Structure 1
């Protein structure tokens, strides 16, 4: 279906030999004089038990595809950018949550301890390795003895590196997780190091949270994250890439066991956030351009405006 704007790609293989699949969505055209296609990556299923991240990635991909040619904003985005949706970065772990342990988090790779399998893929990337490394293989945050030891992390990084050498220019990364209802920035490797565009990332995160709120009234807080996680795959030479993580519903009532009737509402709110994100990457900075105008209520202030006021003081 939709062969003119979609392409199934293989990112690599998992430790147990499963394909890590992605769906590239775009018009496959190039702007005059452009050598490489600007690309946004959306990932889900990094942590096996976070099923809502996988369904949301799929929902947003489907929404982009079916809105092309019908919704001007989406049509414009797909003419300018490619979007690569990777719903399940950790297929072995996800399979294990379906067959054995619903709350399993890590991959299923051997660690040297037969009773403590798996790596936390968020902490398995090689950028500034060691600042937040965990030495206990039984820990849910264990990223391995050395960078890139996790098969899936190495596969994702290799794919990104090869793509960058050829026809791809990565300009944005959104990593979906659960739960907490938060938009996280800057996803740097250390709490002591801010990316050079931190103020832009703050504004962008606040804008995404606002887009979600205006779409269905759900409140997502905006905060920073700094533990060398998967967005570091953007590479140390590309710190100006807009990279954020979104922790999806809920705030703890169901946690990782979110009922299935949340799949569509969560997908819709992140679709709205992605439209804002795309509009931002086009060089605009107004939520009206992506989801329409709206006036914040006294109970729900415009947080992005608050950030601007604080900087003027």
Structure 2
């Protein structure tokens, strides 16, 4: 299948002045298949492996078991035979997505503007290609330079810069750190959209929201809006459902699953050494430029880091460590307490229920994730957010779902920050802070007048 895609791309390159023809998914469907017996499980696993189908949930065939719903993207050329085989084996299935390409088109073209991008007209309710996100990053850096600094985490295999932001008021005091990565998996566009939404909300409410104002004086937020830049770019230019990065591997293989590449029991479970696999863990732990960049920055700030957040889709889950073992993290109970509060607030926001629990318990076994790696490095709170939805759209979440998804996710994170504030940050003396000058000038004038006027 991959040779077919590259052949198409090469033809497109030759015939279209260097532009690769996009992979299309016309007539492809996503099926929800539910095997009920061990024999049905084995049959389904064999068929998925033989046809190299795109398994959306769970990540690997070994995690299929009786009674578990399986979400699988089936190419149009296999669809009829797949359905006939399932009927013959009496395996229950239903159509989740009727036409994958139509759903992709719905999110790719709607509500796009031809006007030059400004912060005032930047639309946070649509998905943006990397060029527009880079423009947005520059505008954010320039407008909010009093509280935002932009840095380069590193460069990708295709020499694209990976940027991160440090958000927080300058302070002479030691500050806690909250670290967030978004866009590890290329096709999970909602994760990238959320990171932009999060930054917009934090920055526009830096003075009006009491909690945010206090946080920015006592916490530095390190935010990576798009970690997997090459992969994300590739989903826009060539193959929308690409998952990995774009690093060249042996033979004609490309890409490593970055969330299997961290040094957290690397490649032990829920990962593959097959470079063709969507969950290929890479040639070694932290082998990828993207992963190396995260590790380097992490080492610089981990002594003060309190919380690590990684944003993904889909499933409506708040995941705790660990994915590679059933053992709970040292502060599992406290993490559950805070996460359950966050999930309750999410439900209040838009009525969508999110499940809380350890990755290996409520999702599937996996190793090498960034959150598990953070927990292994003694970060007190390491959460993975799996955003909407639970299967109706899968990775093709329409852009009219961006706002409610981001609103409920922001509500959850603010609930976590509220817990962090109440439990770990302590009192805040705004007069002693090296924060915004607009608060200090009136205080300084008042003090000067007090001592200048004779009594």
Which one of 316, 325, 333 corresponds to residue 191 of structure 1? 325
Which runs of 5 or more residues in structure 2 are unaligned? 1-142, 361-365, 425-455
Q: Per-residue displacement from partner, 1:195-219 (whole Å, max 9, x unpaired)?
A: 1111112122212211211222221
Report matched runs for 1:127-166 at 5 Å. Answer: 127-132=264-269, 133-164=271-302
Superposition RMSD in Å: 1.7
Q: What TM-score do the two structures reach when normalised by structure 2? A: 0.58
Q: Does 1:174 align with 2:302?
A: no
Q: Is the 8 A contact 1:127 1:235 kept in 2?
A: no
Q: Is the 8 A contact 2:339 2:416 kept in 1?
A: no
Q: Does 1:207 align with 2:344?
A: no
Deviates more, 1:204-213 or 1:93-102: 204-213
Partner of 1:50: 188
Deviation at 1:284, TM superposition (A): 4.2
Deviation at 1:194, TM superposition (A): 1.8
Q: Give the structure with the higher percent helix.
A: 2
Which one of 154, 162, 182 corresponds to residue 12 of structure 1? 154
Q: Counterparts of 1:42 and 1:191 in 2: how far apart (Å)? A: 23
SS in 1 for 2:304: strand
Deviates more, 1:48-57 or 1:202-211: 202-211
Q: Does 1:223 align with 2:361?
A: no
Partner of 1:245: 384
Runs of 4+ in 1 over 4 A off after TM superposition: none
Which one of 165, 182, 188 corresponds to residue 23 of structure 1? 165
Q: What TM-score do the two structures reach when normalised by structure 1? A: 0.83
Taking structure 1 as reference, are residues 237 and 173 closer, same or farther at Cα in structure 2, changes over 3 Å only? closer
Q: Per-residue displacement from partner, 1:76-131 (whole Å, max 9, x unpaired)?
A: 111110112211110000000000000000000112131x3100001101233242
Deviation at 1:236, TM superposition (A): 3.0
Which one of 202, 223, 229 corresponds to residue 64 of structure 1? 202
Which runs of 5 or more residues in structure 1 are unaligned? 286-313
If asked which structure has higher relative contact order (CA below 8 Å, sep 6+), I would say 1
